[in-house]
Structure 1
Amino acid sequence: MHMSPVRDDFRRSQLAIAALFFLLGFQYATWVSRIPALKARLDLGEAQIGLLLMTCGVGAAVSFPLVAVLMRRFGSRLLSVISALALGVVLVALSVVPDYPLTLLVLFCDGVAVGCLNVAMNAQGAALEARYARTTMSRLHATFSAGSLLAALLASGVTAFTGTLAVHFGLAAALLAVLVVVARPGLLTDDAPAAAQDGPDQEQDGPDQEQDGPDQEQAPAAKKDRRRFALPAAATLWMGLAMVFGTVTEGAMNDWSALYLKDVVNAGAGLAPLGIAVVSVMMVLARIFADGWRTRFGDGRIVRTGSLLAGAGLALALLVGGVVPTLIGFACVGLGVAAVTPCVYVAAARQGSDALSLVAAMGTTGLLAGPAVIGFIADATSLVWGMAAVAVSAAVVSLCATRIGWPAPEPHPEPHPEPHPEPLDGRLAPDAG
């Protein structure tokens, strides 16, 4: 049976936006997988490699002011295309860059481009949910992991034939360009104006717009956007904190789970990597199904319950000890935090592009600084206390989630017959405190 035009349009845009998430995961994993080759070609030490990774993260974290301006000026569709193409250029530059200082500059630019694409693609995903009243953000985030997996497989295949970075990165950049060309027609075009007008002040703006007209209201609206940029609303800060502690939990599990299994639980060398595998697999599986849970239970309940599950499961595993209880606790973390990032991104997007940019930057900061903080705690005490801090971090996400105005669950997840921008604005305002 032929699908309705609404379903066709939703699926077309969903696949296009998913391509952006896939692209970001693919690009990052491509160059990270070749760090040994970069190290050998540039004759770098361990500390210099650490600075390379830090520089990329710093670029993404400090990109917030630039991203906010670019989102208001160009919108998420054009910014997605530009930043995605820039990531391909970064790969080509990394394959030919002659020295370490220029490599640092290239990776700083990579971090800025990552920050731009991260905000723009999540704005696209949030706009898609709002337009069709259907949840999809969790599946979109799952495609990021799929991109990382494919990049790792491609790296393994290419290095079996040649160790030349130019061949590998050139092939990867070409694939990124193809993805951008294929995805571009399906990206949403009208999300930027809506994002600029939504948020808590929307109802107050409505009467003024009817009285003064859109032309007279344009300048005050721009000034209001600048005020929000300078002084974020309390709700935006709570979202940012939830994102920080959520990404701290994610990043710390990826960086410290194997070492915990080996040094604390005394797992064998073959079992230690299972910590990362368990967390990753549970996160991907949960994100595949989480959109249905969001539709049924609502984003707020999913974030609160999931983060509590992550914190409690990990804390119990630390108390009990043993390989199997520890892996079960790690699985609880992967399951519990999987939907945190997608849900918070959707909530931030409803407040406008400035809020989304700030929350994304705070999330990057948590992902960057979290594993290091856990390392400092472990060095001062023990790795058990370091992992206990991860459990506390997950519980803090649940606390922050109680202060965020989440949308109510959609009683009818099917798309409306004729979606258009007017109902979209109404759905962007939080309707549940």
Structure 2
Amino acid sequence: MLRVRDDFLRAHLAVAALFCFLGFQYATWVSRLPALKTRLDLDDGRIGLLLMVCGIGAAVSFPLVASLMKRFGSRVLATVSAIGLALILAGLTLAPSYPVLLVVACLDGVAVGFLNVAMNAQGAAMEVRFQRTAMSRLHATFSAGSLLAALLASGVTAVTTTLSAHFAIAAAVLALLLLLAQTGMLADEPAKAAEAAEAAEAAPEPAAETPAKRRGIPLPSRITVWMGLAMVFGTVTEGAMNDWSALYLENVVRASHQLAPMGIAVVSVMMVLARLFADGWRTRFGDGRIVRVGSTVAGLGLALALLVGGVVPTLIGFACVGLGVAAVTPCVYVAAARQGSDALALVAATGTTGLLAGPALIGFIANASSLVWGMGVVAASAVVVALCATRIQWPSLDAAPDAPTADAPTADTPPADAPAPDSPAPADATLGQA
């Protein structure tokens, strides 16, 4: 196995392998939906329900993933969920009936939810431990995994249409990615995290500074709610562009059949390129400014394209969306991880909800009025992200997260009289706390 001496590079490659794993696994079986449809004689409605059930599984994983993260840590959770996702490919191949296929798809969604939270916790903790930005490049690796899966599907189907052969090759690729991940994932210390939590509970609480604890299910803080809203509207923007850009070009702008797929290509290419460079922008300008400016560019660029019309202005507007929203989810994941595993799990669940509900919402609006109004909602969603970003306390890698200075606030630090946010995790926090 590959040996890398630099600790940061080794950890970066390992966590990137997890991101690539998730993108590759999901795109692998989604790319073969036509084969699954033919094998079980399904109609479009049942295929839509299949995808919806997968999303439901990811959304309902939220109550479980938070407790599992605290008990076992992100490394164990990532490993177990990745093994489950590899085995699920066999389940999709062998499912004898549609109800069984629905159960397998639901399990896939649950495992996706687990791995999504675990790998983002690993990425956020890596940034804190090494004081270097990397999350945007990690999300670019997710997109690269999806592209790799599409290329593999195209190559395999050119040779054979057998689903089991394709998924067997894909499982081998997933096994290699998981082995690479094991070489550098950050170690978990859930026991130490639990002891620290118990010690914190036993310590006397300042009456004036610490809010009273609520019994039962803990309610999310205001900052977590704002992060969840930013993630929802950000993923609505991202998901709707992937699903509706080609139809908008063909049905509204009257682009040719050959040019219509360029909408997805422009958004995807700009998003990957932006994520490759976004970590440098985050270091220079800060996460908050990147999210605010990027989402504003996305919203206004798309809105102007809708008003002007035409193929070229539309493609430019789509490019603005890909460029602007590329860093939204990585930055929000980092901010959520600093608030703890509960916040990270909730934000991940809301992101899944937005990614699934967004395209359907745009479809309902387009059916009631027109696709132009539907895409207008996408532009408005990007602007809402910018508004939500003004209410979030964004982490900074220039100073230790647990040592804010009240007399020297930064651009992304709330004023002294603002409501106190949840305390972020210290720089040496364990992954069990991330």
Fold equivalence (TM over 0.5): yes
1:350 is paired with a residue of what secondary structure?
helix
State the shift of 1:103 in Å.
0.3
Whether contact under 8 Å (1:296, 1:410) holds in the other structure is: no
Q: Map residues 273-422 of structure 1 onto 2, 5 A cutoff.
A: 273-408=261-396, 410=398
More helix as a share of residues: 1
TM-score by length of 2: 0.87
Match of 1:42 in 2: 40
Q: CA offsets per residue over residues 20-55 of structure 1, 9 Å max, x none?
A: 000000001100111111011111111111111111
Q: Map residues 131-150 of structure 1 onto 2, 5 A cutoff.
A: 131-150=129-148
Match of 1:167 in 2: 165
State the shift of 1:381 in Å.
1.1
TM-score by length of 1: 0.87
Pairing partner for 2:107 from 102, 109, 119: 109
State the shift of 1:374 in Å.
0.8
Q: CA offsets per residue over residues 209-263 of structure 1, 9 Å max, x none?
A: 5x89xxxxxxxxxx97x96953111110100000000000000001111111111
CA RMSD across the alignment: 2.8
Whether contact under 8 Å (2:268, 2:322) holds in the other structure is: yes
- The one-letter code matched in structure 2 to 1:155 is A
Whether contact under 8 Å (1:127, 1:191) holds in the other structure is: no
- The one-letter code matched in structure 2 to 1:120 is A
Match of 2:408 in 1: none
CA change 1:85–1:98 in 2 (3 A) is same
Q: Are residues 1:252 and 2:240 paired?
A: yes
Q: CA offsets per residue over residues 116-164 of structure 1, 9 Å max, x none?
A: 0000000000000000100000000000111111111111111122111
CA change 1:324–1:405 in 2 (3 A) is same
State the shift of 1:79 in Å.
0.3
Q: Are residues 1:130 and 2:134 paired?
A: no
Q: Are residues 1:230 and 2:214 paired?
A: no
Q: Are residues 1:424 and 2:421 paired?
A: no
CA change 1:339–1:194 in 2 (3 A) is farther
State the shift of 1:409 in Å.
5.5
State the shift of 1:410 in Å.
2.6
State the shift of 1:77 in Å.
0.2
CA change 1:192–1:310 in 2 (3 A) is farther
CA change 1:140–1:155 in 2 (3 A) is same
CA–CA separation in structure 2 for the residues paired with 1:326 and 1:196: 52
Pairing partner for 2:250 from 254, 258, 262: 262
Whether contact under 8 Å (2:4, 2:10) holds in the other structure is: no
CA change 1:195–1:362 in 2 (3 A) is farther
CA–CA separation in structure 2 for the residues paired with 1:74 and 1:186: 18
- The one-letter code matched in structure 1 to 2:235 is T
Match of 1:100 in 2: 98
Pairing partner for 1:87 from 62, 85, 88: 85
Unaligned runs of 5+ in 1: 213-222, 413-420
Unaligned runs of 5+ in 2: 206-211, 401-424
- The one-letter code matched in structure 2 to 1:145 is S
Pairing partner for 2:31 from 8, 33, 47: 33
State the shift of 1:411 in Å.
7.8
1:44 is paired with a residue of what secondary structure?
coil
2:428 is paired with a residue of what secondary structure?
helix
Whether contact under 8 Å (2:338, 2:395) holds in the other structure is: no
CA change 1:423–1:118 in 2 (3 A) is closer
CA–CA separation in structure 2 for the residues paired with 1:88 and 1:369: 26
Whether contact under 8 Å (1:76, 1:192) holds in the other structure is: no
Q: CA offsets per residue over residues 157-187 of structure 1, 9 Å max, x none?
A: 1112211111111121122122212311310
CA–CA separation in structure 2 for the residues paired with 1:322 and 1:66: 47
Whether contact under 8 Å (2:143, 2:272) holds in the other structure is: yes
CA–CA separation in structure 2 for the residues paired with 1:228 and 1:334: 41
Whether contact under 8 Å (1:67, 1:119) holds in the other structure is: yes
CA–CA separation in structure 1 for the residues paired with 2:194 and 2:363: 40
- The one-letter code matched in structure 1 to 2:39 is R
- The one-letter code matched in structure 1 to 2:47 is I
Whether contact under 8 Å (2:252, 2:372) holds in the other structure is: yes
Whether contact under 8 Å (2:77, 2:114) holds in the other structure is: yes
Q: CA offsets per residue over residues 382-418 of structure 1, 9 Å max, x none?
A: 1111101000000000010011001235389xxxxxx
